[in-house]
Amino acid sequence: MTLDRFAYLEAEQLGPEELTILRTVPKRWGRMDRLSRLAIVEVGRALIDAGLRRPGVVSQESLSRTGLVAATRRGSLATDLAYAKTMDQGLGLASPLLFSYTLANIALAEAASHFGIKGPVYALYSEKSPLTAARREAERWLKTDRDIAVMVAGEIDCYWGDGALLSVADFVVLRNDEK
Whole-number pLDDT of residue 72:
87
DSSP state for residue 51 in the 8-state scheme: T
Q: Which CATH superfamily is domain 3-175 in?
A: Thiolase/Chalcone synthase (3.40.47.10)
Give the least confident one: 18-22, 65-69, 73-77: 73-77
In this predicted structure, the answer to whether residue 117 has a pLDDT above a threshold of 50 is yes
Summarize the confidence of residues 61-69 as an average pLDDT.
83
Sheet order of strands, 66-72 included: 121-125, 66-72, 150-161, 164-175
Summarize the confidence of residues 36-50 as an average pLDDT.
93
| pLDDT band (50, 70, 90) for residue 85 | confident
| pLDDT band (50, 70, 90) for residue 1 | very low
Whole-number pLDDT of residue 57:
57
Rg (CA), the chain: 16
∠ CA 120-122-125, nearest 5°, is 145
Using CA atoms, how far apart are residues 145 and 85, in angstroms rounded to an integer?
42
Whole-number pLDDT of residue 3:
46
